[in-house]
């Protein structure tokens, strides 16, 4: 960077402490509203920015990057997932991409465990019943759910979040099974008492709860396809706090409507913010507005990572959270 204060464009409103620090360090264009920046504005921004700070709501594709000025050398993503950024085009144009790993691990694992409980024990359904005035009192057969103690949890993607979930799930008495691109280290398996399945199909047919914790990449698009979803047992519960595109949402919806699986807990959707109206009508589904990482602490920590990545990069060093590859 040739200027003392690089020009940084931020596409969404970030926590106040992060924006304040950015203003101190850089020449910053902030988004004062909490609305997604239109693509046309992002295109204009990359023509003059040295650094772009996008979020998951932005599509930083080849059409955007191809119009970037020569001075754009860093896309410092505010978030862990990078499926909305065209990494190949960024590499071709010599643009470094960073993200914010680790800081969202515990928050997302908490939310995933919460969804497993909520679906299995019909928590949100019960709350709706109470608030609507339909509850007439305790009944021996009222609002029966399923015990999770002693059940098998199948984790799809045994990275940081998958392992954090496994630690929580063991405390609830679930046995841990997982499918991953690579088998985790033996000491991790031993600690978690986890069973590795090279075949995702075989694991899905044997577990009671499935949690999707892998990133969305071309290789994981519709990883849980209609064919694979049909392998689940009729009582099985599926939870997704990763990316909606990993599951064939239409196939999942059809099976839920038809009573072919027990239930689902979804924090992400294939075409979000749009949600299939048929999902909204189901009682055996818990739906959340992509809030798995929504804690004050987590969002501030994300911002701190963005700051460190930018500052390290403009100081002429490799940023600590440079994105080097894909996978789960």
Write out the catalytic residue numbers. Answer: 243, 272, 290
Helix ranges restricted to H, the chain: 16-25, 39-48, 62-65, 87-92, 105-120, 123-131, 160-171, 186-192, 200-204, 226-229, 249-257, 277-280, 296-314
Three-class HEC string of 95-128: CEEECCCCCCHHHHHHHHHHHHHHHHCCHHHHHH
Residues 6+ positions from 53 with CB-CB distance below 8 Å: 8, 9, 10, 11, 14, 75, 76, 77, 78, 306, 310
Task: Find tokens 């689940």 and name the residue.
Answer: 232
- H or E stretch covering 155: strand 152-156
Handedness of CA 290, 295, 300, 306 (dihedral sign): negative
What's the gap between Cα 311 and its chain centre?
26
d(CA 14, CA 130): 36
Half-sphere exposure for 197 (CA within 13 Å, toward CB): 19
If one counts every other C-beta atom within 10 angstroms of the C-beta of residue 190, the result is 9
Residue 76 β-bridge partners? 98
Report the largest interatomic distance among the alpha carbons of the chain, rounded to a whole angstrom.
73
């Amino acid at each position: 960077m040739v200027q003392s204060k690089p020009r940084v464009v931020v596409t969404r409103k970030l926590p106040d402490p992060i924006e304040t620090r950015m203003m101190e360090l850089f020449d910053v264009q902030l988004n004062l509203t909490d609305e997604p920046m239109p693509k046309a504005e992002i295109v204009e921004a990359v023509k003059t920015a040295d650094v772009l700070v996008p979020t998951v709501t932005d599509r930083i594709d080849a059409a955007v990057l191809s119009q970037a000025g020569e001075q754009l050398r860093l896309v410092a993503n505010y978030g862990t997932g990078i499926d909305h950024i065209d990494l190949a085009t960024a590499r071709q144009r010599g643009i470094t991409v960073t993200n914010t790993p680790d800081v969202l691990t515990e928050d997302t694992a908490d939310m995933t465990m919460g969804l497993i409980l909520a679906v299995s024990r019909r928590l949100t359904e019960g709350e709706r019943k109470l608030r609507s005035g339909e509850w007439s009192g305790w009944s021996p057969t009222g609002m029966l759910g399923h015990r999770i103690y002693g059940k098998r949890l199948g984790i799809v993607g045994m990275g940081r979040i998958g392992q954090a979930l496994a630690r929580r799930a063991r405390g609830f008495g679930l046995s841990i099974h997982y499918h991953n691109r690579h088998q985790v280290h033996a000491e991790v398996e031993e600690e978690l008492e986890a069973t590795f399945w090279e075949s995702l199909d075989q694991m899905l047919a044997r577990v009671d709860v499935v949690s999707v914790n892998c990133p969305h990449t071309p290789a994981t698009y519709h990883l849980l396809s209609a064919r694979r979803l049909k392998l689940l047992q009729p009582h099985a519960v599926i939870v997704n706090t990763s990316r909606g595109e990993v599951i064939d949402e239409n196939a999942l919806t059809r099976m839920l409507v038809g009573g072919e699986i027990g239930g689902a807990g979804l924090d992400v959707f294939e075409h979000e913010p749009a949600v299939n109206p048929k999902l909204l009508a189901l009682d055996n589904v818990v739906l959340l507005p992509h809030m798995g990482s929504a804690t004050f602490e987590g969002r501030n920590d994300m911002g701190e990572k963005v700051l460190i990545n930018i500052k390290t990069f403009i100081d002429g060093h490799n940023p600590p959270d440079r994105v080097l590859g894909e996978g789960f």
